[in-house]
């Protein structure tokens, strides 16, 4: 007799999803499917809207990665109106975006996917959550994380208006400069963020990496996918969240492509799956071979682990040390185990904090000149940045009156969509055998997608 | 209520921002968790839909629902939560008025789907099937929920006791609502957790607003440098503060950007867009028909701007009960 296991809804992530596992008569997995029942239609209802409203309109795709949408949308306006932001505006944007990735990665590590590796014990007791994480990591550290995250979000509210939905992005600049008093607060917050980031890495090495479940999963090939990887890099091929070129490496780590955002249509393709609203993407020049990994499949991954794999180095000294320790420990690059996303995310937390300190101390930050008024008629603009969950591209085409005629969005989790489905299926097949289904193995099936920190509202938009 | 209050939080077609408004309560959230029994909250806890089905009718004291009603399964879920709850709270702009998602009502469901899954320039197969087409009917995979003909606010589907406006609501407002429920008081029918008056009354630029403002042409943001201390309308930039309920701490104004109306209409009107159009009419300088036309022409997307958050709740919209 066949049997069905439904995990509905999947939890501790942004958006709607369900896992549908079907067992054959022997009790082994015949299908394991990750479905996303969520759709809004942003690409259609953005048509007819005024271009200047797009960074604040499209960020409503996601309340968990709104700053990334705001930045990608604002950069698309820079390109659309051919208006480069003054130095101070660029610094303000990168500071806000980097601070956002810092606090959003903490959201994942303590509230969403992190509790899977922070909290021990029976998942049936339902304490794999932020409250269990605080208990596991200690009340002092837990409250420290909460309070630093609150301070960083307050800093971004000061820069962009709202901690959640910034509104400061304009074509060719930002709406509000930073003054000396604001800068003093920003330096203090960034310094506090860096101290916490260092502490978290130490705790990760001392406690989390040594946990038996995590060690077992990091060494378990059921959680490996041998895929291509993509991420934004600077001129020296180092990780950058705000700007750069998109670098792709092969499953064995060789450079495959390096292109600017306006060439995305030459490299990335979306496809429809009849059973889900989530549109997986793949590499155009490799092609779609179904839900499978390997060098012949165009399936690729983005996000923290992919950014580290796709880059040659980190741009800040402490993060670089951790980067080297990471690959020395793993023993090969690229690293393919999905559970390593957690570790890579914390290395990015450290990079983000160091970068916040650097940006906050830049003399140009307090220059009151933060706008470049456009002088050219708009036609088409592409903006790119790294969202916490991976590469994000906004593309707007308008008429001469700057009314949107076409909007195309390639959103972070879409790039991971095929890998997420494959990770869930691979974990389910490996962990469920001969009809034995435990809470622990179902938890590990869920861990196979949570490590990506998926955002399903983004993946469907 | 005997014992700690029982709470549920759920999302329909939302963005997760309303969940963040709860996370952003920071340390106060720990107190809420300790003093309540949270039985369902997919963003943070591991309970499933079947756990809600297993509850007794009325067992939940207060259910917070965010997001618009977009898919048929949202209707089923909010009806289930209504049955299980004494008090249902529309949490955030999308549950309140449909939110930005409601702009989808300018188009048919088929147009929305075809644009995303067929016509996008990055699609592999422009003539490929839409989601749900060609899918099996559930024999090997769960059937895909379908789109409703239109986006609806929560109160078009179920009775709602209270509204927390805002995209997103401020975390301090969320804390206030939880504190009240923990104290044993469920919100009275019709409660709105925001100001009674328009944002202008609490705007930091209030004193710079002239007694009478007249505008002959509106300017656009990308073409204009403006004074960061002076009323936007007095500088010929559209700001919807005069017709928007206050309670947001003027957060967009603090970033030197005008209001776009996410808190919805004040008690003085039902239809936000109609109120916004009345505002524009009141700003018209004396002139002839050509001058009036020039003023209207200077607004690049009036329908999208005035109904940005409220099209699904509008008297002009498609927001009838299914």
pLDDT tens-digit series, residues B126-144: 888 899 887 666 677 788 9
- Record: contact A41-B116, CB cut-off 8 A: yes
The answer as to whether A242 is a domain residue is yes
Which residue in chain A has the smallest CA separation from B222?
A171
pLDDT at res. B138: 67
User: What percent of chain A stands above pLDDT 90?
Assistant: 98
Q: Assign B317 a pLDDT band (cuts: 50, 70, 90).
A: low
pLDDT at A1: 67
Would residue A25 count as lying in a domain?
no
Query: Per-residue pLDDT averaged across A185-197, rounded?
Result: 98
Interface of B with A in 175-214 (CB under 8 A): none
Cβ atoms A269, B122 nearer than 8 A: yes
Handedness of CA A137, A140, A144, A146 (dihedral sign): positive
Overall size of chain A counted in residues? 461
Structure tokens at B142: 């769960």
ipTM of model over 0.90: yes
What is the tally of structural domains in chain A? 1
**CATH of B6-100+148-192 among 3.40.390.10, 3.40.1390.10, 3.90.1150.10, 3.40.50.700:** 3.40.50.700
Tens-place pLDDT, residues B61-105 = 999 999 999 999 999 999 999 999 999 999 999 999 999 999 999
- What residue numbers bound the domain in which A389 lies? 42-460
- DSSP-assigned beta bridge partners for residue A228: A300
| Cβ within 8 Å of A, B 12-71 | 13-21, 23-24, 26-27, 29-30, 33, 42-50, 70-71
Interface test with A, best of B115, B222, B251, B304 (most A CBs within 10 A): B222
Between these two residues, B106 and A122, which has the higher pLDDT value?
Answer: B106
Q: pLDDT tens for residues B271-299?
A: 999 999 999 999 998 889 999 999 999 99
Phi and psi at residue A182, to the nearest 5°: -60, -45
pLDDT at B127: 83
Residue B192 near residue B162 (C-beta atoms within 8 A)? yes
The two tokens of residue A388 are 């916490």
Residue A152's pLDDT is what? Answer: 98
Query: What is the reported pLDDT for A210?
Result: 95
Burial of B170 (0-12, 13-18, 19+ CB in 10 A): buried
Q: What pLDDT, in 10s, does the model give residues A28-55?
A: 999 999 999 999 999 999 999 999 999 9
Q: What local confidence, expressed as pLDDT, does residue A121 receive?
A: 85
As a whole number of angstroms, the distance between CA B169 and CA B22 comes to 9
- For residue B137, the model assigns a pLDDT of 60
**Whether pLDDT at A72 is above 80:** yes
pLDDT surpassing 70 at residue A278? yes
- Report how far residue B205's alpha carbon sits from residue B253's, in angstroms, rounded to the nearest whole number: 8
Backbone region of residue A82 per phi and psi (left: phi > 0; alpha: psi in -120 to 50; beta: other values): left
Averaged pLDDT of chain B? 95
Instruction: Give the mean pLDDT of A331-358.
Output: 98
Predicted confidence at residue A225, as pLDDT, reads 98
A250 inside domain? yes
Q: Is B112 on the interface with A (CB under 8 A)?
A: yes
Is A77 an 8 Å CB contact of chain B? Answer: yes
CATH number at residue A306: 1.10.645.10
> Coil, strand, or helix at residue B266?
coil
Distance CA A46, CA B181 (A): 39
Q: Report helix, strand or coil for A301.
A: strand
- A82 within some domain: yes
Residue A50: beta bridge partners? Answer: A403
**Please, are residues B311 and B317 in contact by the beta-carbon 8 Å criterion?**
yes
Contact A161/B220, CB-based, under 8 Å? Answer: no
**pLDDT score of A282:** 98
For B268-288, give the secondary structure using H, E and C: CCCCHHHHHHHHHHHHECCCC
- Show me where the domains of chain B are located: 6-100+148-192, 199-313
- Inspect the interface and report whether the beta carbons of B27 and A147 lie closer than 8 Å: yes
pLDDT at B321 > cutoff 60: no
Q: What is the pLDDT of residue B125?
A: 83
> Model pTM?
0.98
B257 touching chain A per CB within 8 A? yes
- Residue B57 banded pLDDT, cuts 50, 70, 90: very high
Q: Is residue A11 assigned to a domain?
A: no
Residues of B in contact with A371 (CB under 8 A): 225
Would you state the structure tokens that stand for residue B218, as one six-digit string? 């509106």
What distances in angstroms separate CA B286 from CA A240, A355, B233, B291, one per listed residue? Answer: 54, 54, 17, 8
Does A9 fall in a domain? no
Separation CA A349–CA A388 (nearest Å): 10
Read off the pLDDT of residues B241-277 as tens digits, 9 standing for 90 and up: 999 999 999 999 999 999 999 999 999 888 999 999 9
On average, the pLDDT of chain A sits at: 97
Q: Is a pLDDT exceeding 60 seen at residue A449?
A: yes
CA distance A315 to chain B (A): 30
Chain B residues in contact with A166 by the CB 8 A cut-off are: 255
Residue A326 lies in a domain: yes
């Amino acid at each position: 007799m066949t049997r069905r296991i439904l995990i509905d809804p999947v939890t501790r992530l942004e958006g709607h999803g369900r896992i549908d596992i079907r067992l054959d008569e022997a009790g082994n997995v015949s299908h394991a499917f990750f479905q996303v029942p969520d759709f809004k239609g942003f690409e259609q209802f953005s048509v007819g809207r005024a271009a200047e409203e797009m960074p604040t309109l499209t960020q409503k795709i996601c309340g968990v990665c709104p700053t990334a949408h705001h930045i990608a949308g604002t950069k698309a306006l820079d390109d659309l109106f051919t208006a480069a932001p003054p130095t101070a505006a660029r610094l303000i944007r990168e500071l806000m975006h980097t601070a956002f990735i810092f606090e959003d990665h903490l959201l994942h590590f303590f509230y969403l996917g992190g509790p899977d590796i922070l909290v021990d014990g029976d998942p049936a007791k339902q304490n794999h959550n932020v409250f269990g994480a605080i208990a596991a990591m200690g009340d002092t550290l837990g409250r420290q994380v909460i309070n630093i995250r609150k301070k960083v979000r307050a800093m971004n509210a000061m820069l962009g208006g709202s901690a959640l939905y910034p509104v400061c992005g304009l074509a060719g600049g930002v709406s509000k400069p930073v003054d000396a008093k604001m800068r003093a607060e920003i330096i203090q917050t960034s310094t506090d963020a860096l101290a916490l980031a260092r502490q978290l890495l130490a705790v990760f090495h001392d406690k989390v990496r040594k946990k038996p479940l995590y060690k077992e999963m990091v060494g378990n090939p059921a959680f490996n996918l041998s895929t291509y990887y993509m991420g934004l890099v600077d001129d020296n091929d180092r990780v950058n969240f705000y700007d750069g070129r998109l670098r792709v490496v092969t499953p064995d780590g060789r450079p495959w492509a390096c292109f600017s955002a306006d060439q995305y249509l030459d490299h990335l393709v979306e496809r429809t799956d009849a059973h889900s609203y989530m549109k997986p993407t793949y590499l155009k020049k490799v092609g779609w071979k179904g839900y499978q990994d390997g060098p012949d499949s165009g399936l690729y991954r983005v996000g923290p682990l992919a950014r580290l794999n796709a880059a040659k180095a980190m741009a800040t000294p402490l993060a670089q040390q951790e980067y080297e320790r990471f690959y020395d420990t793993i023993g090969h690059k690229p690293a393919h185990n999905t559970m390593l996303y957690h570790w890579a995310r914390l290395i990015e937390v450290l990079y983000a904090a160091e970068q916040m300190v650097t940006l906050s101390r830049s003399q140009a930050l307090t220059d009151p000149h933060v706008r470049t008024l456009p002088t050219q008629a708009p036609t088409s603009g592409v903006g790119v940045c790294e969202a916490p969950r991976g590469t994000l591209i906004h593309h707007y085409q308008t008429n001469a009156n700057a009314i949107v005629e076409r909007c195309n969005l390639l959103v972070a989790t879409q790039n991971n969509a095929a890998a997420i489905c494959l990770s869930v299926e691979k974990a389910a097949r490996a962990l469920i055998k001969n009809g034995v289904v435990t809470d622990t193995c179902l938890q590990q099936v869920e861990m196979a997608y949570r490590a990506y920190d998926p955002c399903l509202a983004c993946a469907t938009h | 209520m005997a014992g700690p209050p029982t709470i549920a939080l759920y999302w329909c077609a939302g963005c997760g921002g309303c969940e963040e408004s709860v996370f952003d309560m920071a340390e106060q959230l720990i107190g809420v968790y300790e003093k309540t029994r949270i039985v369902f909250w997919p963003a943070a806890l591991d309970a499933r839909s079947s756990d809600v089905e297993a509850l007794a009718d009325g067992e939940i004291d207060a259910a917070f629902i965010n997001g618009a009603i977009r898919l048929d399964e949202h209707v089923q879920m909010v009806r289930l939560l209504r049955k299980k709850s004494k008090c249902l709270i529309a949490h955030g702009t999308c549950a309140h008025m449909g939110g930005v998602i409601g702009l989808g009502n300018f188009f048919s469901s088929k147009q929305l789907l075809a644009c995303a899954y067929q016509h996008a320039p990055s699609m592999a197969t422009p003539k490929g099937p839409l989601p749900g087409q060609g899918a099996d009917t559930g024999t090997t995979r769960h059937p895909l929920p379908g789109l409703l003909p239109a986006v609806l606010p929560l109160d078009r589907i179920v009775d709602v006791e209270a509204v927390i406006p805002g995209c997103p609501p401020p975390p301090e407002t969320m804390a206030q609502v939880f504190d009240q429920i923990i104290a044993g008081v469920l919100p009275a029918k019709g409660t709105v957790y925001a100001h009674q008056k328009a944002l202008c009354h609490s705007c930091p630029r209030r004193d710079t607003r002239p007694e009478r403002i007249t505008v002959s042409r509106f300017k656009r943001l990308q073409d204009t440098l403006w004074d960061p201390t002076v009323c936007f309308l007095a500088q010929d930039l559209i700001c919807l503060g005069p017709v928007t309920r206050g309670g947001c701490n003027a957060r967009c104004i603090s970033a030197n950007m005008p209001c776009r109306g996410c808190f919805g209409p004040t008690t003085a009107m039902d239809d936000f867009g109609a109120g916004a159009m009345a505002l524009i009419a009141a700003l018209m300088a004396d002139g002839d028909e050509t001058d009036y036309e020039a003023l209207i022409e200077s607004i690049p997307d009036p329908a999208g701007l005035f109904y940005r958050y409220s099209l699904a709740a509008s008297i002009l919209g498609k927001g009838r009960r299914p």
